[in-house]
Structure 1
Amino acid sequence: MAIKKTDAGWLADLQPGGRGAKRFRKTFKTQAEAKAWEAWLITQINQKSDWTPERRDTRKLSELIALWFSHHGSGLRSAGDTLRRLKAMATAMGDPVADRFTAEVFAEYRTRRLAAGITANNLNREQAYMRAMFNELARLGVWTRENPLAKVRQFKIQESELSYLTTGQIKALLATLMDARNPHVRLITKICLATGARWSEVEEMRISQVRDGLIQFARTKSGRVRAVPISEYLAQAVQEHYREKGNGDRIFGYAWSAFREGIDRAGIALPDGQMTHALRHTFASHFMMNGGNILTLQRILGHQSLTMTMRYAHLAPEHLQEAKMLNPLRQVELEGAHHERGATGTEGQTA
């Protein structure tokens, strides 16, 4: 702390909280006024703890990301991918000092990304990663301020129609894949259609996951283990494929590109972002159309929330059928038909 004479007067340059804390500067006409203000400021800080300015956090955003990964993130299933995304975000924002990373800084970053063609869905995912990181750092005591993204609302996403294959398209696709050079693509496709599993879950399957007429999926997006029954024919096909083409304990090799080529050759058009995932939508859609139970479907797909599974509920044969009988127009029509029958009956008696 210092009080010194300047051309403008007596400058009081004070930093009561020490290095990194807020600095106070004020110029006075006389040295006595400057000293009186210094004494008053110190009294305020000593007597009112809530008045004491919060010390600055001069760590870089990248340092907080490294701490999060060291203390928590490294234990996540998708640790590497999440770390890569967070680092890329920090770099794109200029790696700001921690206490200068604000909702406005993130909003400006998000606007630039949106203008560059990044989808709102991806931006919502990035926001969720960063917000979750600050929440975890706060739980660990590494971050003591408010979460900078706590009040930032995500973009509202217009729900897109989930595309699924018809029975005819499934037949055409499987026939096309018979001629594929990739030896794995057809059987992977069939397992996805039979179990509703994600492409990556099947592509990375180990032979130990197939036993007693079940496929047990452990490396799942939600981290939960789930088991789905398969037909005896499909179980035998998996065993035979492993004996002939397996590698170590893995049953399949990579086949995503071969699947995309098969979709093109079969003349099937799919929405952007729903290539192999269309197989999962196809399983769920046909499951509901064939009278399946929505809660059973939730367990098969491994959804943590029923809200996700409810996207397929409208395909159930009985879905909202009450609307045909309980709507007000139906009641009017029934009353009209009743009056017409009554009138016809009366005329018949008179005749």
Structure 2
Amino acid sequence: MSITNTKDGSNKPWRIDMRLGGRDGKRIRKVFATKGEAIAYETFVLKQVDDKPWLGEKEDNRKLSELIKHWYDLHGQQLAQPQSRLRKLELTCFGLGDPIASKLTINDFAHYRQSRLDGEIEDFQGKKTKVKPNTINHEHAYLNAVFTELKRLGEWTLPNPLEGLPQFKIEDTELAFLYPEEIPVVLDECRNAEYEHLVTIVMVCLATGCRWSEAEGLRGNQIAHNRITFVKTKGKKNRTVPIAQGLADLLPRVRGPLFRPCRRSFERAIKRSGLTFPEGQMTHILRHTFASHFMMNGGNILVLRQILGHADIKDTMRYAHFAPDHLDDAITKNPIAGIL
């Protein structure tokens, strides 16, 4: 009991002796003439604790959605595609039930991701959809980055609730590319498309290894002296790639946007061609085609990294096996080399 009667005969026999925030918190001692005054003062002090951090550390009761919004205001809006990232984080938060962030645990997220894989979690429209492990890994990485960045900024002092939880191991996907005889087939179908510049966009992708969005979003001021400078890239770094005069002559001579969105036109052209691509590589196969042929024609892996704009050399090394002499020592240095 923090309120006691000292019975010392003084005119203030009622004493308060209390600590706020545990045994190491601030100690308060005060005497009163009546027990009612002591109780009233104790009630007053306890009500002030939440507004007085120096009286004891306040429990962090922010919801996960509040934390995500705070992260977005301080950092997320500076990313290359901020609205897309925020939307994905909000979907994850919704699927987790928007818990108090400080109470989120590894076990909570482990159950969430299994439910996502099984298609048991509803989205904002109430629809349940099974997702692939790679999608879960992205959600894991995005949410982990929220806690990591807020901790770096001093806005989160508790442990990262996802720390120590490994992501799913994903098998390497097939890197499909167009064979030399398939490239003219694709270009012919694109020339016959309803959009006159579709073939030009495809040729830019094949000649520079750029992403579809980078080619489709080109503006006139990005073309100069037979060079294309790609801006607002995924890696947030500009990169310049030279092009042949023949391709430069095909590019529209305008100051603003060179092309209009035409991904669907490309999909229809591929369908007419009869070619089939792995899932998710409809337009990205053009980038794979550039990189694969670059290495097969004797290109340098470090130069390829610079052209593609990879931040991590491991991403570029996926194409190393296309080099003509890659691992040729396996032919001459195996134990039966002298027999065959």
TM-score computed with the length of structure 2 as normaliser: 0.80
Tell me, yes or no, if structure 1 residue 137 matches structure 2 residue 144: no
**Are residues 1:61 and 2:64 paired?**
yes
| Structure 1 residue ranges without an equivalent (≥5) | 4-13, 22-52, 335-351
Note the C-alpha offset of 1:291.
0.8
- Give distance in 1, aligned partners of 2:337 and 2:184: 41
Corresponding residue for residue 247 of structure 2: 234
Aligned to 1:115: 118
What is the identity, as a one-letter code, of the residue corresponding to 1:100? K
- The alignment status of 1:98 with 2:101, answered yes or no, reads yes
SS in 1 for 2:337: helix
User: Contact 2:177–2:292 (CA<8 Å) still a contact in 1?
Assistant: yes
2:220 aligned residue = 207
Q: Are 1:299 and 2:312 matched, yes or no?
A: no
How much has 1:79 moved relative to structure 2? 1.1
CA distances 1:183-210 after superposition (whole Å, capped 9, x unpaired) = 2211100100000000000101111000
Partner of 1:125: 138
- 1:190 to 1:70, Cα distance in 2 relative to 1, 3 A: same
For residue 206 of structure 2, the aligned residue among 184, 189, 193 is 193
| Partner SS, residue 181 of structure 2 | helix
| Amino acid in the other structure paired with 1:183 | E
Deviation at 1:276, TM superposition (A): 0.1
Identity over aligned residues, as a percent? 45
Question: Retained in 1: the 8 A contact 2:80–2:233?
Answer: no
Deviations 1:242-288 (A, max 9, x none): 45xxxx60000001000001111111100000010000000000111
Residue of structure 2 equivalent to 1:163 = 176
SS where residue 328 of structure 1 aligns? coil
Match of 1:17 in 2: 21
Q: Which residue of 2 aligns with 1:39?
A: none
Counterpart amino acid of residue 220 in structure 1: T
Q: What is the one-letter code of the residue matched to 1:168?
A: E
Shift >6 Å, 4+ stretches: none
Match of 1:311 in 2: 318
User: Per residue, is there more helix in 1 or in 2?
Assistant: 1
What whole-Å deviation, never above 9, does each CA across 1:286-339 have from its counterpart, x for those lacking one? Answer: 1111111111101000011111111111111111111100111215x28xxxxx
**Which residue in 2 is equivalent to 1:75?**
78
Report Cα offsets for 1:108-139 as digits up to 9, x if no partner.
Answer: 11111111221111111111111011001001
What secondary structure does 2:294 align onto?
helix
Please list the CA deviations of residues 15-49 of structure 1 after superposition, one character each: whole Å capped at 9, or x if unmatched. Answer: 9528xx9xxxxxxxxxxxxxxxxxxxxxxxxxxxx
Q: Given the superposition, is the C-alpha separation of residues 293 and 15 from structure 1 closer, same or farther in structure 2, using an over 3 Å criterion?
A: same
State the distance in 2 between where 1:136 and 1:178 align. Answer: 47
> 2:91 and 2:116 mapped to 1: Cα distance?
12
Is residue 180 from structure 1 mapped to residue 193 from structure 2 by the alignment?
yes
- Tell whether 2:160 aligns with 1:147: yes
* Aligned pairs, number: 284
Matching of residue 260 in structure 1 with residue 267 in structure 2: yes
Q: Which amino acid aligns with 1:310?
A: M
The DSSP-based 3-state class of the residue aligned with 1:194 is helix
Q: Distance in 2 between matches of 1:268 and 1:301?
A: 25
Whether contact under 8 Å (1:193, 1:279) holds in the other structure is: yes
Cα offset, 1:59, TM superposition: 0.7
* Alpha-carbon contact 1:242-1:252 (below 8 Å) kept: no
The C-alpha deviation readout for 1:152-209, integer Å capped at 9, x for no partner, is 1000000011000011111101111111001221110010000000000010111100
Name the SS of the counterpart of 1:329 in structure 2. coil
Q: State the match for 1:42 in structure 2.
A: none
Q: CA deviation at 1:56?
A: 2.9
1:249 equivalent in alignment to 2:252: no
> Quick one: which of 255, 279, 284 aligns to 1:277?
284
Contact 1:184 1:255 in 2 (8 A): no
Counterpart in the other structure of 2:297: 290
Give the structure-1-normalised TM-score: 0.77
Structure 2 counterpart SS, 1:330: coil
Distance in 1 of aligned mates of 2:218 and 2:326: 35
Q: Any stretches of 5+ residues in structure 2 without a counterpart?
A: 4-17, 26-55, 120-129
